[in-house]
């Protein structure tokens, strides 16, 4: 792994800075145990993500959007949010790792993807993991691309008015950055200096449309200047860089105003289980991006640093498979939601 870099203090994209602050060489606020914990979470998410894809092919899961390739960004940002303690998250359909790291269990994930009783978001009524999980301070009300940005800005405004310290973090893709609503949200946040982080998971594709067909610029973070936000480009395949950049962005958002964090990362799988990416990107491109697999990179980093040895890495993988096997059984055994509950939660009692 490369050294942490970037920070909202640097208002232009692609800042170069390293701020190791402890004797361990780890960035502010994290320990080797945190990284071991997050490595386990990363392996668990990858394992369940692969299983869900397989179950779709077996006809047991209607649809899924994979987080494979996005894990370092999703987990690094969540680690920063968790360490800060006062964040509210607006996720989108690709954010399985954020939701699991925030507290969703494998069994709940399986039930959600299978539309079973026990899905904590909508109890099997909605697209997987779509709805609200207020226990874990996460909202994802719809799959309408870019819908979460204005909601996050509204939440940030409410936090400001109520005088609390919450920072809203909204996750969205490069395709979502092309939506008009993104402009409205960023402009309003900039004018009012709201405590919000716009966290763009730039995987360079909006379904089949490559970034170069969406915009004439390379770095989405460069747009920050036009809204009066801090803008930062981060290597979104590196959990430590993501952690550092998000941690600084949280402080900045709280004390000075909004930040646009552009995480450069890769989407390893087709857009969803309904997509065939062979029709628009060559297999060599996918082979190439897989060379930077965050699960493998983090595993190597952990062994190089002496935080884990190969035996422990293998054990973590075995434990993840066992946990996901059990969650799969629980999902399969769970009943479908009772039709008599169809109108529950639709109206205030």
Task: Kindly list the residues in this chain that would bind ligand TPP in the complex (CB under 6 A).
Answer: 94, 143-145, 172-176, 201, 203, 205-207, 267, 271
Give me the 117-156 binding string for Mg ion, x by CB under 5 A, dash otherwise: ----------------------------------------
Q: What angle do CA 210, 46, 117 make, to 5 degrees?
A: 105
CB of 42 to ligand TPP, least distance (A): 18
Question: Which position's Cβ is nearest ligand TPP?
Answer: 173
d(CA 206, CA 277): 11
Among positions 199-218, residues that touch Mg ion (CB under 5 A) are 203, 205
d(CA 57, CA 207): 20
Measure Cα distances from 226 to 13, 38, 167 in Å. 13, 35, 22
CB of 293 to Mg ion, least distance (A): 18
CB of 57 to ligand TPP, least distance (A): 20
CB of 146 to ligand TPP, least distance (A): 7
Strand pairing partners for 202? 264
Q: Tell me which of 49, 133, 174, 235 binds Mg ion, using CB under 5 A.
A: 174
DSSP string, 91-150: --TT-HHHHHHTT--HHHHHHHHTT-TT-TTTTTSSSTT-EEEGGGTEEE---STTHHHH
Closest Cα to residue 243, out of 225, 263, 223? Answer: 263
Interacting span for Mg ion (CB under 5 A) from 166-174, 248-256, 283-291, 317-325: 166-174
**Residue 336, binding choice from Mg ion, ligand TPP, none, Cβ under 5 to 8 Å by partner class:** none
CB of 267 to Mg ion, least distance (A): 7
Other CB atoms within 10 A of residue 344 CB: 12
**Residue 223, binding choice from ligand TPP, Mg ion, none, Cβ under 5 to 8 Å by partner class:** none
Question: Exposed, middle or buried: residue 22 (CB in 10 Å: 0-12, 13-18, 19+)?
Answer: exposed
d(CA 69, CA 225): 28
**Residue 49, binding choice from ligand TPP, Mg ion, none, Cβ under 5 to 8 Å by partner class:** none
Q: Tell me which of 27, 128, 173, 294 binds Mg ion, using CB under 5 A.
A: 173
Residues that bind Mg ion (CB under 5 A): 173-175, 203, 205
């Amino acid at each position: 792994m490369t050294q942490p870099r970037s920070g909202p203090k640097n208002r232009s994209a692609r800042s170069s800075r390293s701020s190791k602050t402890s004797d361990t060489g780890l960035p502010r606020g994290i320990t080797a145990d945190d990284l071991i914990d997050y490595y386990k979470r990363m392996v668990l998410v990858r394992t369940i993500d692969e299983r869900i894809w397989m179950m779709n092919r077996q006809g047991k899961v209607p649809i899924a959007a994979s987080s494979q390739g996005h894990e370092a960004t999703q987990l690094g940002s969540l680690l920063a949010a968790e360490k800060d303690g006062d964040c509210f998250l607006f996720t989108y359909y690709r954010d399985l790792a954020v939701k699991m790291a925030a507290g969703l269990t494998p069994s709940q994930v399986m039930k959600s993807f299978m539309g079973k009783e026990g899905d904590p978001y909508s109890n099997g009524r909605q697209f997987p993991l779509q709805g609200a999980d207020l226990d874990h301070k996460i909202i994802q009300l719809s799959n309408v691309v870019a819908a979460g940005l204005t909601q996050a800005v509204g939440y940030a405004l409410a936090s400001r008015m109520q005088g609390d310290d919450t920072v809203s973090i909204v996750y969205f893709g490069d395709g979502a950055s092309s939506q008009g609503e993104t402009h409205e949200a960023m402009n309003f946040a900039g004018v009012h200096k709201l405590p919000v982080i716009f966290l763009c998971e730039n995987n360079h594709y909006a379904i089949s449309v490559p970034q170069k067909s969406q915009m004439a610029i390379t770095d989405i973070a460069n747009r920050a200047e036009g809204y009066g936000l801090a803008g930062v480009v981060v290597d979104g395949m590196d959990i430590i860089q993501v952690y550092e950049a998000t941690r600084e962005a949280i402080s900045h958002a709280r004390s000075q105003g909004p930040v646009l964090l552009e995480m450069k990362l890769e989407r390893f799988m087709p857009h969803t289980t309904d997509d065939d990416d062979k029709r628009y990107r060559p297999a060599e491109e996918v082979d190439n991006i897989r060379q930077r697999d965050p699960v493998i990179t983090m595993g190597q980093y952990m062994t190089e640093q002496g935080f884990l040895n190969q035996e422990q890495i293998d054990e973590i993988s075995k434990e993840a498979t066992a946990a996901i096997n059990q969650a799969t059984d629980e999902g399969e055994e769970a009943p479908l939601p009772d039709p008599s509950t169809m109108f529950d939660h639709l109206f205030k009692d």
